[in-house]
Amino acid sequence: MRVLITGVTGFIGKEVAYFLRRKYDVYVLARKTSDISKIDSTDLTILQYGKYSELIDIFTKYKFYGVIHIASCIAIENTKDHFFSLVDSNVLFGMHLLEASKVTNVHWFLNTGTFWQHYHNESYNPVNLYAATKKAFEDVAKFYVDSSSLIFTTIKLNDTFGPNDTRDKIFNLWLKISKSRETLDMSEGEQVIDISYIDDIVSAYATMVKNLKEGNAIQYNNKSFVVTNNDRLTLRELSHVFEEVIGEKLSINWGAKKYREREVMEPYSFGEVVPNWEQKITLKEAIRKVVQNIRTTEK
């Protein structure tokens, strides 16, 4: 089965591609301006494009069976500097992918959404403009679903982490101050965190691809599913687990920062979990794996 994956220059997209290449004929899509030097091209094909108009030719040539769309522009703050990149990456790019999928009879399109589309646990209330553009793309996709045989499904993610994750995420920040002995200013830490380990996330995508291969895949059409962690802790509680794993106390100045505008205090909890998938790695085990990997790499 020939599958196209976007977002492979990012942490999640790369890991999904590396895993799925074991079973499928995986192609990854990247802009010509993207840095692909760190992508292991073994058992996968890298396709680069300059203009969106080139996508239809790529789809026509390779006849993909399915598309996994992970590429995204994430902007936490709602500033006008992000307007173009948010719409371009999260809506316009996806529209071209959908159009090419429809024209070339792609069977299914697996999209990536975010818990931030559900502020206050509502069916739709975007935390920020980033979340709004993710929902806008889903609305656009409805046209393609209703006007073709394309099956469109969304997996919604919240926080994510894992080995080799270079993003400026909380565990990386805590590891940094544990080494430097610096003090980190943070909010009161009462927000509940739903953070998933990369192996579980990759497993969710692989499971959903398997679901979409089945003869009854139409049951997943125009539906959204979530990847969530059974261990939901407040940020403060999470820091205690982290301290237990690394065996030392973190220097955190709790309450030194105000909560962000529209801070998510309770993550989305009404989503249906990806069918036939379940979490395999506990939060503490996952943190331990990340810490061990970093310490091994540094030796």
The domain of 256 spans 170-193+231-266+280-298
- CB atoms inside a 10 Å sphere around CB 38: 10
239 and 146, same structural domain?
no
Distance (Å, rounded) from C-alpha 163 to C-alpha 152? 30
At residue 120, does pLDDT exceed 70? yes
The model's confidence at residue 298, banded by pLDDT at 50, 70 and 90, is low
At residue 118, does pLDDT exceed 80? yes
- pLDDT, residue 167, reads 86
Radius of gyration (C-alpha) of the chain in whole angstroms: 20
User: What pLDDT digit, counting tens, does each position of 209-248 carry?
Assistant: 999 999 899 999 999 999 999 999 999 999 999 999 999 9
In a domain, 274, yes or no: no
- pLDDT, residue 299, reads 62
User: What pLDDT digit, counting tens, does each position of 180-209 carry?
Assistant: 999 999 999 999 999 999 999 999 999 999
26 and 77, same structural domain?
yes
In a domain, 272, yes or no: no
138 and 107, same structural domain?
yes
Of 283, 285, 295, 284, which Cα lies nearest the Cα of 179?
295
User: What pLDDT digit, counting tens, does each position of 57-95 carry?
Assistant: 999 999 999 999 999 999 888 888 899 999 999 999 999
User: What pLDDT digit, counting tens, does each position of 173-185 carry?
Assistant: 999 999 999 999 9
In a domain, 31, yes or no: yes
109 and 238, same structural domain?
no
- pLDDT, residue 293, reads 84
- CA count, 13 A, side-chain hemisphere, 159: 20
CB-CB contact of 195 with 158 (8 Å): yes
7 and 125, same structural domain?
yes
Check residue 33 and give left, alpha or beta (phi > 0: left; psi -120 to 50: alpha): alpha
Tell me phi and psi for residue 159, to 5 degrees.
Answer: -75, 150
Strands of 43-187, DSSP E: 44-49, 66-68, 108-114, 151-157, 159-161, 184-186
Which 3 state secondary structure label does DSSP give 67? Answer: strand
Distance (Å, rounded) from C-alpha 295 to C-alpha 299? 7
- pLDDT, residue 164, reads 85
Q: Which residues pair with 6 in a beta bridge?
A: 29
43 and 59, same structural domain?
yes
In a domain, 151, yes or no: yes
260 and 116, same structural domain?
no
Number of domains in the chain: 2
122 and 202, same structural domain?
yes
Of 140, 135, 57, which Cα lies nearest the Cα of 92?
140
Both structure tokens of 4: 């196209």
Both structure tokens of 28: 């990854």
214 and 68, same structural domain?
yes
Q: What is the mean pLDDT of residues 27-50?
A: 95
In a domain, 49, yes or no: yes
**Model pTM greater than 0.85?**
yes
Q: Where are the alpha helices (DSSP H) in 64-112?
A: 83-87, 93-103
Distance (Å, rounded) from C-alpha 267 to C-alpha 120? 8
In a domain, 271, yes or no: no
In a domain, 273, yes or no: no
Tell me the CATH number at 99.
Answer: 3.40.50.720
Convert 257-281 to b/e letters by CB count within 10 Å (16 or more is b).
eeeeeeebeebbeebeebeebebeb
Which 3 state secondary structure label does DSSP give 224? Answer: strand
Q: What is the mean pLDDT of residues 136-142?
A: 98
In a domain, 249, yes or no: yes
118 and 254, same structural domain?
no
236 and 123, same structural domain?
no
Of 160, 132, 139, which Cα lies nearest the Cα of 267?
160
Tell me the CATH number at 249.
Answer: 3.90.25.10
120 and 147, same structural domain?
yes
